[in-house]
Amino acid sequence: MEKHEGSYLMRDWKESACIERADGHKTSRVEAEFAYEGELRGPSKVSLLMHYHPDQTGSYIGWEHFEGTWQGKAAAVVFRIEGSFDPKGVEARVSHEIGSGTGALEGLRLSYSIRFAGEGPYPFTLEVE
């Protein structure tokens, strides 16, 4: 397994409530745009479903479509995202959807974990198999 350092930056975030209960539980949909810097470089579009608990914690799941470059060569991949959040920040576990890599990412397996707290860019270590 190889490890590569990179960073991730949020460009846009649009969130809309799907279901809001009187007891404080809420489910929302997010459409967002991010950008990768490092050997994985380029924009991505993210779709998430988030669930909020009344205590300001929660969890989410979604997919991210990346199109850009890997080590300077054209590449694309779909990532699966799972995570949780609390008032101090957001945790995410990201892995590619098998068979979704194209170009320089075809046949590779990618994953990373990341913590979002404060303003980005947010550093991460990409694991490549």
| Residue 24 CB partners (closer than 8 Å, separation 6+) | 52, 53, 54
What is the pTM for the complete model shown? 0.92
CA distance 16 to 22: 17
| Residue 119 CB partners (closer than 8 Å, separation 6+) | none
Every domain of the chain and the residues it spans: 2-128
pLDDT per residue as tens digits for the range 17-51:
999 999 999 999 999 999 999 999 999 999 999 99
| Topology, domain 2-128 | AOC barrel-like (2.40.350)
